[in-house]
Structure formats: C-alpha cells, structure tokens
C-alpha cells in the first residue's frame, strides 16, 4: 500500500501531513501527486469527498518551497467557484505549509479591496481566488499574472454551471504558456473537455471512479410527495421535512438541507427555528461575515442544521455530516452528486434523502440516469391512519361488489324552478272604471291613461297626450291641452 512517504514530497510537507494525522493517500492523491511533482499537466476526475484538494496543494507546496515571490506577481494561482471553497483551500495550505515559508492571499468577494491589495503588493507565493474578484484586481492594475508557474482549476464543472467559463478562458490567456496546469472535477461536461483540450498539454488523466458516481457508503432514499392543495404545498412540504428529520432520530447528529432557491433557504430555516430546530441559512445573498460565522458554527458543532443553496454543495469539508436532505430535486443532475457528497466523507456512513413533488419527477429521472441506478423509494412518514382506514374501506366495498355512491356534483343538482308570477288582484274601483269596450274585449289590454286624466283635473276632457308616458306631470299636460283647445 502506498504511503505519503513514498511520494517524494518535501520532508517539511511530510511532517505537516503526519501532524494532521494522515498516513495513506486516497486513490486520487496517489494517482495525481507523482505526475504533478514531475511538472506534468494533470486532469483529475474523482467523486466529491475523495481528497482532491490535497492532490494539488501538496505538490504545489513542494514545488514552491524553492524560490521567492515578487510584488504583484504571484507564483501560483488556484481558481475556485465559490468563496467557501476558496477559503477551504486556503485552510489546506495553512495546514500543510506551516513548516514552509510560503505566503498566500485569498481574493474573494465580501472582503475589502484595500486589505487584499496590501497582500498582493508584498508579493505572494500562492494566490487563491474566485474568477470575478481576480479579474477585478487585474483590471484595477493591481495584479500581474505573467509570473504564474502553476495554475489550478478546482471544481471545473461547477465553474461551467455558474457561467465562469468565459472568465476562465480569459484568465488562461493572461498566464504564461509554459505554466503547469492542474484540472480537478467530479464530473466532466463536454464544455470542460473542450477547455482541457485547449489549455492542457498532454495531461495525465487520473480517473479513480466512474464519472458522476455516488459513494456506496451513502444510504439514499426519495419520498414522493403530493400536496393536498396547491396553496398548501409549501407548508405541507416543510412539515414532511420535519417528519423525516424526526424519523431519523438520534442518527441525525447534524444535517445539510439543500434548496434550489435562495428564498426557500430563508423560509425553510425560519420555519425550522420556529419549531425548535437549531438551524441557520447560507446562500450567496448573505454578507460574507455572516456566511463565515454560520459555517464555523456548523463545523464546530454549535449549529446542528445548515439550510443551504448550491453555493454550499461544493467545497464544504465537514467530515462528520450525518445527513443530507434535498428539499428540492436539483435542476442539474450533477448537483445531486455534489450535494449528497457532503455526507459519507472519509469512509464514514451517510444518509441522503430527497423530497420529490410531481413537477420534479423529470429532474429525478435525470438524476437516476446520471448515477445509473434507481434511488430507493421511501414511505411518507406523514401518511395518516385515516388514509389506511379509507383504503381498507374501499377494498371492502370493492370485494362486496357495492360501489360507494358518487358524490353529487353541481351539475347533478336539479334546476331551480322559478315560482309563477302572480298577477296583482284588481280592486273593485278598478273594475268599475273599465269601459264597456274593455269589458267586451278582454284579450286586448286597455292603454294606460295619462296621469292628468287619472287624476281628474278636468282640463284634458279624458284625452291623453300621446308619447309622454304615465309619468307626465300634470302641469305639462295642462299646457298641451290649452294649446290644442285654443
């Protein structure tokens, strides 16, 4: 079995590894470190949680132990897709380079430009950065990349997902052609393959696991969920999440809950805290200091549940995460591999549970095609005894041949009959007022008389004014009558 002492690393680096408690390299480390020490380009593909970070930090420290940094011209460059991953790489350098006099700078968003400029001006051996902040410093004239000897792209496929590929290509064009390039990723999309063919020179390809595989030590499961009503989906889904956590009991020592949207991250975290769970959110819209405090609390065990967007799916190295809950099925199938890779690290057992709504079924099919196996279905822990009783009752009815009566719908209700309209009874006075002609011809209704005739003003001689209707004021009728008689 290969040991670190067999890999021709710097003795001071080996001392730091021994103090960290490591003795045997992982397969990706054993495969990538020797060609990296020889100065060759390396393309490393391995599932998350297998030690890819040490695969490039250890040979980089050994190679950089000789030499000296110059102002504004870093000797090596490590590109990471997220602030959290960049910070973790910096911690690895601190761990393994503590006996070697190397300087480093961390260029990430959410931190003052002034502090970062001061570090660069003094000269750094290792520059760890996210692409956006690195280009910001370059465009301000504070940084030169012509002295880069070793360039590393970590989690290259995540760079593709986050739209960093144009920035990566530009950064490559700013570095010397003679640099050594190390590419590491868990999956290898066609676009990433194109970049490696363009910028890597005859790389040593190290693939220790089939692309997009999940650890065999991770117990996976999916719960199919359908809300009773569309407007209740959010609350019922959060209730199901709490039920899954409770069902795991003491086995769930800590957990990461992944949501697809930042708004859901905040809502789920707030809901869990309302019901007494120790939970906190982390996503890209939060202040960097708050994100750092939250991660530190999760790492040291003071925070039990971390509710995260995919910003935390890559690079979080917390060895003892017992559970991962996918509140949503990820839109990109590759993200499923990275999400559940937060548990079951360093050979430990882990559990990954996913909630799938009807609209997520296509995304779930894509995940199962990617990992090339069916994820076991789990029963919904909220299934009530009433449902079981109803199902048993239906089965008994079917067995007896009696079908339950169909519930009447609105269309089955009889039309509402309109009551017959009763004619008002005529008074005796009205009967007496009928003319003989009206009595002889009852089928022909009499024409109503103008108001002035019915009021008996005596001026109209019983003759009505045509076209003015029953509501003609008597003073107007009087004026017409006078003109007609005059």
pLDDT of 207 > 70? The answer is: yes
Could you tell me if residue 403 is inside a domain? Answer: no
For the chain, the domain total comes to 3
Residues 167-183 have pLDDT tens digits of 999 999 999 999 999 99
Q: Residue 266's CB: how many other CB atoms inside 10 A?
A: 17
Any idea which of 69-73, 151-155, 306-310, 317-321 has the lowest mean pLDDT? Answer: 317-321
For residues 108 and 116, what is the distance between their CA atoms, to the nearest angstrom?
Answer: 9
Could you tell me if residue 423 is inside a domain? Answer: no
Is pLDDT larger for residue 47 or for residue 439? Answer: 47
Residue 314 is predicted with a pLDDT of 60
CA angle 253, 255, 256 (to 5 degrees): 170
What's the burial of 173, exposed, middle or buried (CB within 10 Å: 0-12/13-18/19+)? exposed
* H helices present in 97-179, as ranges: 113-122, 131-139, 156-161, 165-174
Domain at 146, CATH number: 3.40.50.300
Any idea which of 28-32, 145-149, 383-387 has the lowest mean pLDDT? Answer: 383-387
Give the pLDDT band of residue 163 (cuts 50, 70, 90): confident
Final residue of a domain: which of 165, 185, 207? 207
Final residue of a domain: which of 150, 181, 207? 207
* H helices present in 353-435, as ranges: 361-371, 385-400, 428-433
Residue 230 shares a structural domain with residue 371: yes
Could you tell me if residue 440 is inside a domain? Answer: no
Sheet holding 150-154, edge to edge: 104-107, 126-129, 76-79, 150-154, 180-185, 42-45, 204-207
Give the pLDDT band of residue 222 (cuts 50, 70, 90): very high
pLDDT of 116 > 80? The answer is: yes
CA angle 373, 185, 101 (to 5 degrees): 145
Residues 431-478 have pLDDT tens digits of 444 444 444 444 444 444 444 444 444 444 444 455 555 666 666 666
Question: b/e map of 187-208 (b: 16 or more CB within 10 Å)?
Answer: bbbeebeebbeebbeebbebeb
Residue 224 shares a structural domain with residue 365: yes
Q: Can you tell me the mean pLDDT for 40-48?
A: 86
Residue 330 shares a structural domain with residue 302: yes
Any idea which of 52-61, 298-307, 404-413 has the lowest mean pLDDT? Answer: 404-413
Residue 223 shares a structural domain with residue 353: yes
Helices 11-19 and 52-64, interaxial angle, to 10°? 140
Backbone angles phi, psi at 476, to 5 degrees: -75, -45
Residue 152 is predicted with a pLDDT of 95
Residue 369 shares a structural domain with residue 242: yes
Give the pLDDT band of residue 87 (cuts 50, 70, 90): confident
Residue 92 shares a structural domain with residue 40: yes
Residue 257 shares a structural domain with residue 382: yes
**What are the structure tokens assigned to 52, written together?**
């890819």
**Closest residue by Cα to residue 307 from 272, 335, 346:** 272
Residue 133 shares a structural domain with residue 248: no
Residues whose CB falls within 8 Å of the CB of residue 381, separated by 6 or more in sequence, listed in order: 240, 243, 244, 246, 247
Could you tell me if residue 167 is inside a domain? Answer: yes
Domain that residue 465 falls in: 445-486
Could you tell me if residue 392 is inside a domain? Answer: no
Is pLDDT larger for residue 161 or for residue 27? Answer: 27
Could you tell me if residue 411 is inside a domain? Answer: no
Residue 264 is predicted with a pLDDT of 95
For residues 351 and 343, what is the distance between their CA atoms, to the nearest angstrom?
Answer: 7
Q: Can you tell me the mean pLDDT for 355-367?
A: 94
Residue 230 shares a structural domain with residue 291: yes
Work out the mean pLDDT of the chain and round it to a whole number.
Answer: 80
User: CA gyration radius for the chain?
Assistant: 40
Across 15-173, the runs of DSSP E, i.e. the strands, are 42-45, 76-79, 104-107, 126-129, 150-154
For residues 235 and 241, what is the distance between their CA atoms, to the nearest angstrom?
Answer: 10
Residue 161 shares a structural domain with residue 37: yes
Instruction: Please give the share of the chain, as a percent, with pLDDT higher than 70.
Output: 75
For residues 135 and 158, what is the distance between their CA atoms, to the nearest angstrom?
Answer: 18
Work out whether strand 255-258 and strand 126-129 pair parallel, antiparallel, or are unpaired: unpaired
Could you tell me if residue 414 is inside a domain? Answer: no
For residues 74 and 126, what is the distance between their CA atoms, to the nearest angstrom?
Answer: 6
Sheet holding 255-258, edge to edge: 218-224, 350-356, 323-326, 255-258, 305-308, 279-282
Residue 260 contacts residue 354 (beta carbons within 8 Å): no
Residue 373 shares a structural domain with residue 330: yes
Residue 333 is predicted with a pLDDT of 85
For residues 223 and 244, what is the distance between their CA atoms, to the nearest angstrom?
Answer: 9
Could you tell me if residue 437 is inside a domain? Answer: no
Q: Can you tell me the mean pLDDT for 209-235?
A: 85
Residue 127 shares a structural domain with residue 222: no
Residue 477 is predicted with a pLDDT of 61
Any idea which of 145-159, 270-284, 342-356, 432-446 has the lowest mean pLDDT? Answer: 432-446
Final residue of a domain: which of 368, 386, 404? 386
């Amino acid at each position: 079995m290969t040991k670190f002492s067999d890999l021709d690393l710097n003795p001071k680096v080996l001392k730091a590894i021994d103090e960290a408690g490591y003795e045997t390299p992982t397969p990706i480390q054993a495969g990538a470190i020797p060609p990296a020490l020889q100065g060759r380009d390396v393309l490393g593909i391995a599932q998350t949680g297998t030690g890819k970070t040490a695969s490039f930090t250890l040979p980089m420290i050994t190679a950089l132990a000789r030499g000296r940094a110059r102002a504004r011209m870093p000797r090596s460059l490590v590109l990471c897709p997220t602030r959290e991953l960049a910070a973790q790489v910096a911690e690895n350098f601190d761990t393994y380079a503590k006996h070697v006099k190397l300087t480093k700078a961390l260029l990430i968003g959410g931190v003052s430009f002034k502090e970062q400029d001061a570090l660069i001006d003094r000269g750094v051996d290792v520059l760890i950065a996210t692409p956006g902040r690195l280009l910001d410093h370059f465009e301000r004239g504070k940084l030169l990349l012509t002295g880069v000897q070793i360039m590393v792209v970590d989690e290259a496929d995540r760079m593709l997902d986050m739209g960093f590929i144009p920035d990566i290509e530009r950064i490559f064009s700013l570095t010397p052609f003679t640099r050594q390039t190390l590419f590491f990723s868990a999956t290898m999309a066609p676009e990433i393959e194109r970049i490696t063919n363009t910028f890597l020179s005859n790389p040593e390809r190290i693939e220790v696991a089939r692309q997009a595989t999940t650890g065999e030590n991770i117990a996976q499961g999916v719960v199919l969920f359908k809300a009773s009503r569309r407007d209740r989906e959010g609350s019922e889904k959060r209730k199901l999440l709490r039920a899954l956590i409770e069902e795991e009991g003491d086995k769930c020592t800590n957990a990461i809950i992944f949501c697809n949207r930042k708004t859901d991250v905040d809502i789920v975290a707030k809901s869990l805290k309302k019901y007494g769970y120790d939970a906190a959110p982390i996503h890209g819209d939060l202040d960097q200091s708050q994100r750092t405090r939250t991660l530190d609390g999760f790492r040291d065990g003071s925070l039990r549940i971390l509710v995260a967007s995919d910003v935390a799916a890559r690079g979080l190295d917390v060895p003892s995460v017992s559970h991962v809950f996918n509140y949503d099925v990820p839109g990109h199938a590759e993200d499923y591999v990275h999400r559940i890779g937060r548990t079951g690290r360093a050979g430990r057992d882990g559990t990954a549970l996913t909630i799938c709504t009807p609209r997520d079924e296509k995304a779930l099919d894509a995940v199962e095609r990617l990992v090339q196996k069916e994820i076991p279905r789990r029963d919904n822990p909220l299934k009530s005894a009433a449902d079981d009783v109803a199902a048993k009752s239906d089965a008994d009815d079917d067995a007896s041949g009696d079908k339950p009566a169909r519930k009447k719908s609105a269309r089955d209700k009889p039309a509402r009959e309109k009551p017959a309209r009763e004619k008002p009874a005529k008074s005796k006075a009205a009967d007496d007022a009928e003319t003989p002609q009206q009595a002889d011809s009852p089928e022909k209704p009499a024409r109503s008389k103008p108001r002035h005739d019915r009021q008996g003003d005596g001026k109209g001689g019983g003759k009505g004014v045509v076209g003015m209707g029953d509501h003609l004021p008597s003073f107007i009728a009087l004026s017409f009558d006078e003109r007609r008689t005059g």
